Amino acid sequence: MDFELSEEQQMIRDMCRRFAENEIKPVAAELDATKKHPAELCQKMGELGLMGIAIPDQYGGAGMDYVSYILAVIEISRACASTGVIMSVNNSLYCFPINRFGNDAQKRAYLTPVASGQAMGCYALTEAGAGSDPSSMRTTARLEGDSWIINGEKKFITNGNVADYCVLAAVTDKDKGYKGISSFIVDTKNTPGFSVGRVEEKMGIKASGTAELVFSDARIPKENLLGEQGAGLKQMLTTLDAGRLGIGAQALGIGRAVLEEALEYAQTREQFGRPIAKFQAIQWKLADMATELDAAELLLLRAAWLQDQGRPFEKESAMAKMYASDVAMRAAVEGVQILGGYGYCKEFPMERHMRDAKICQIYEGTNEIMRLVIARNLLREAKSKM
C-alpha cells in the first residue's frame, strides 16, 4: 500500500497552495463582504488548468487524474470556500457529465470552452419541490420539430447567475417516472425563453452565486439532448457521485483553514500568564480536529483513486462527503470556541469558515441522504454474500 503522491500530484497540490496563498487568501474576506463573483480569479484558475482538471487536453482540460482534482479543490477552498465551490461545480457537475455522456460534437462545442476556463458551467437539477427526491421534478422538455421546448424553474443553482452553459435535468415522459428524466445542454446566453431569476442571499459562500433558473418555452436544438432520452437519472446519480468528492474536498479545505488559524491563535493568545495552547482543554480540541481532518482526507483520496481506476465509488464518495463535511463543521465550531469573542467577530476569518462549512452538509445531497446511500450499498453488499 503506497500513500505517496505521484510527482505530478505533488506539483498540482503545491502549485494550488501557492496560488491560493498569494492570490486568493488576501481577497477572501472582501469577496465574502461584497458577494462579488471572483471572475478574475476564475480566469487565472482557467489559465492554470484548474477549471477542467480531469478533462482530456483535446477538449481543453488539463488531462490529470481525480486525485489531483481533489488535492486542488482542498487547497483552493482552504483560502476561499466560495472560489472552491465555483471551481468544483465547473469541474464535477458540468464538465464531468458532458465528458462522460456527451458525443464528440457536444464536447467540442460545450466542453472545451468551459474546461479551458474561457466560459463557466453549471448543473440544474434542484427545484422548489424536488431536491432529495428527483421524482418530484416538474421541469419538462417536449420535442417539437428540431427543438426541445423547456418549461420550469430550477432553484439553488451554483454558478447559475454567471454560467454560459448549463447541464439541465428535465422530464421528457411523465408516465415513465424516474425513467422519464433526460439531460440536456443549454447555452444560457443564446437560448430564447431562458432567464436568471432570483439570486439567493445566503449565510455563507457568499461570493458564489446561487440562482434560480427560469425556462419559459425555452427552445434548444434537438441535438442538445445529452446521451439517450430517459437516461437522465442514471447520468444524474453518476454525476453526483463525482460532485460529492468536490464538496468533500471543499469541506476539508475549510477544516484545514480552521485548524491552521486555531493553532496560530492558541500559541499567541495568553491567559493566566501563558499561551492557551498550554491548556489541555485546547490541546484536545486541536488534536481531535487534526485527527478527524486526516481521516477525512484519506476517505476522499480513496474514493478519488477508485474513480481513477474506473471502479464503483458511490458508497465511498458518500462516506467521504458526509464525513468531511461533518468534520469541517465540528472543527469550525471548535475553532470559534478557541478564539472566543474574536471567533465571533469579522476581524478574524474564523466566523466566515463556520458560515461556509455548514452548506457542505446540505448540498450535493444532504448528509441524511448520504447515510441512506451508504446503507443501501452496505445492504446490497451483504445480500450478495448470502
Same-domain check for residues 52 and 160? no
Q: What is the CATH number of the domain that holds 179?
A: 2.40.110.10
Q: Does the residue 24 lie in any domain? A: yes
Residue 66, domain CATH: 1.10.540.10
Contacts of 305 (CB under 8 A, 6+ apart): 66, 67
Per-residue pLDDT for 72 more than 80? yes
- Residues 344, 311 within the same domain: yes
Residue 308: the pLDDT is 96
What are φ and ψ of residue 39, in 5° steps? -60, -40
The answer to whether 235 and 272 have CB atoms below 8 angstroms apart is no
Q: Band the pLDDT of 82: cuts 50, 70, 90.
A: very high
Whether residue 300 is predicted with pLDDT greater than 90 in this model: the reply is yes
Among 119, 152, 176, residue at a domain's last position: 119
- Does residue 133 have a pLDDT over 90? no
- CATH number for the domain spanning 255: value is 1.20.140.10
Whether the Cβ atoms of residue 350 and residue 339 lie closer than 8 Å to each other: yes
> What pLDDT score was predicted for residue 385?
86
Residue whose cell numbers read 446511500: 373
Q: What is the mean pLDDT of residues 63-77?
A: 97
Same domain, 86 and 194: no
Given a cut of 90, is residue 238 above it in pLDDT?
A: yes
Mark whether 153 is an active-site residue: no
Backbone angles phi, psi at 360, to 5 degrees: -65, -20
- Report the pLDDT value the prediction gives residue 248, as an integer from 0 to 100: 98
Is residue 279 domain-resident?
Answer: yes
Closest CA to 187 of 104, 236, 233, 122: 122
Domain boundary among 230, 263, 295: 230
Q: How confident is the model at residue 175 (pLDDT cuts 50, 70, 90)?
A: confident
The rounded distance, in Å, linking the Cα atoms of 232 and 342 is 48
Same domain flag for 354 and 278: yes
User: What is the mean predicted confidence (pLDDT) over 257-277?
Assistant: 96
102 and 147 assigned to the same domain? no
Closest CA to 77 of 293, 306, 304: 293
DSSP state of 172: S
Note whether 275 and 302 are same-domain residues. yes
**Average pLDDT rounded to a whole number, residues 287-308:** 98
Residue 41 lies in a domain: yes
* Residue 147 is assigned to a structural domain of this protein: yes
Question: Residue 126: is its pLDDT beyond 90?
Answer: yes
Average pLDDT value for residue range 139-157: 96
Q: What is the per-residue pLDDT for 339?
A: 97
Q: Which of 5, 22, 28 is nearest to 355 (CA)?
A: 28
Among the listed residues 223, 364, 368, 381, the single catalytic one is 364
pTM of the model: 0.95
pLDDT at 135 over 80: no
Domain boundary at 98, 119, 140, which? 119
Domain total in the chain: 3
CA distances from 131 to 95, 124, 128, 134, 262 (A): 21, 11, 7, 6, 35
| Averaged pLDDT of the chain | 96
The domain in which residue 243 lies consists of 233-384
Q: Tell me how far apart the alpha carbons of residues 294 and 237 are, in angstroms, rounded to a whole number.
A: 27
Report strand pairing: 121-124 vs 165-171: parallel
Sequence-distant (6+) residues with CB within 8 A of 59 are 52, 99, 107, 108, 111, 112, 115
Q: Are residues 237 and 380 in the same domain?
A: yes
Residue 225 pLDDT more than 80? yes
Residue 178 exposed, middle or buried by CB count within 10 Å (0-12, 13-18, 19+):
middle
Domain assignment present for 106: yes
Residue 230: count other Cβ atoms within 10 Å of its Cβ.
15
Distance CA 81, CA 89 (A): 12
Residue owning grid cell 466560495? 82
**Is the domain of 39 the same as that of 174?**
no
134 in a domain, yes or no? Answer: yes
How far apart are alpha carbons 174 and 140 in whole angstroms?
Answer: 9
- Residue 154 CA to residue 170 CA, distance in Å, equals 10
The one-character DSSP state at 269 is: -
320 and 273 in a single domain? The answer is yes
Whether residue 128 is found in the same domain as residue 83:
no
% residues pLDDT > 70 (the chain): 100
Q: Are residues 292 and 310 in the same domain?
A: yes
On whether both 312 and 185 belong to a single domain, the answer is: no
Residue 386 has pLDDT above 90, yes or no: no
Rounded distance, CA 278 to CA 72, Å?
34
Q: How confident is the model at residue 59 (pLDDT cuts 50, 70, 90)?
A: very high
Give the per-residue pLDDT at 136. 85
Report strand pairing: 165-171 vs 194-199: unpaired
Q: For residue 1, is it within any domain?
A: no
